[in-house]
Structure 1
Amino acid sequence: IIWDVGHQAYPHKILTGRRDRIRTLRQSEGLSGFTKRAESDYDPFGAAHSSTSISSGLGMAVARDLKGGDNNVIAVIGDGAMSAGMAY
């Protein structure tokens, strides 16, 4: 799952084993306000700004196909992303 912006990933962080640290969100030495590959294996993409998830997901899907994989790639976008990037 590729989240388009950081605040979409807060529930994702809770569900992927970081619930006990959620109160440290956006604090020094705490959880990142965005998905962060170095923070969790469940964060496949370093989301930050709107409108990048579709193109990132497409790249991941092409790489998957070239490797012969069968995993799903899901890009979650919000209303702000509808007017930019590949959604536009």
Structure 2
Amino acid sequence: IALHYVFDTPNDRVVWDVGHQSYPHKILTGRRDRMSTLRQYGGISGFPRRAESEYDTFGTAHSSTSISAALGMALGARTRGEKRVGIAVIGDGAMTAGMA
């Protein structure tokens, strides 16, 4: 809730490090009524999925990619003169994986 309150989403880019971190985000961004279809054929994805919502800014595949993705989005925005930030949401497991 705090991320969506403090930042200007979806203009500001929230990047989730792993899919299960994004479940509350999916509820807050208009997909509450479809949560019962999570990870089912034809249902909503268990990961952030760009085609699913404008709030899903990065398609997570495996952990430890959120920092580099959010930084790349922020630097790209700065290069284009856009006022937006990149926010990396990363867990303790990814921080100890050696790639973050």
TM-score w.r.t. length of structure 1? 0.93
Rounded to whole Å, the distance in 2 between the matches of 1:74 and 1:42 is 12
Aligned AA (2:65): T
**Residue from 51, 66, 82 that aligns with 1:38:** 51
C-alpha distance in 2 between matches for 1:33 and 1:48: 10
Corresponding position: 1:59 with 2:72: yes
Task: Say what the alpha-carbon RMSD is for the aligned residues.
Answer: 0.8
Structure 2, gaps ≥5 residues long: 1-13
CA distance in 2, matches of 1:24, 1:49: 22
Q: Is 1:49 paired with 2:62?
A: yes
The Cα of 1:60 is off from its aligned counterpart by: 0.4
Structure 1 segments (4+ residues) deviating >6 Å: none
Partner of 1:78: 91
Aligned pair partner of 1:19 in 32, 40, 44: 32
CA distances 1:16-64 after superposition (whole Å, capped 9, x unpaired) = 0000000100000000000000111110000131100001011101101
2:93 is paired with a residue whose SS is helix
Aligned equivalents of 1:78 and 1:71: distance in 2? 23
SS at match of 2:48: coil
Give me the whole-angstrom Cα distance separating, in 2, the residues matched to 1:2 and 1:62. Answer: 14
Query: How many residues are paired up?
Result: 86
1:75, distance to aligned residue in structure 2 (A)? 0.2
TM-score normalised by L of structure 2: 0.83
2: CA distance between counterparts of 1:48 and 1:78? 15
SS of structure 1 residue aligned to 2:86: coil
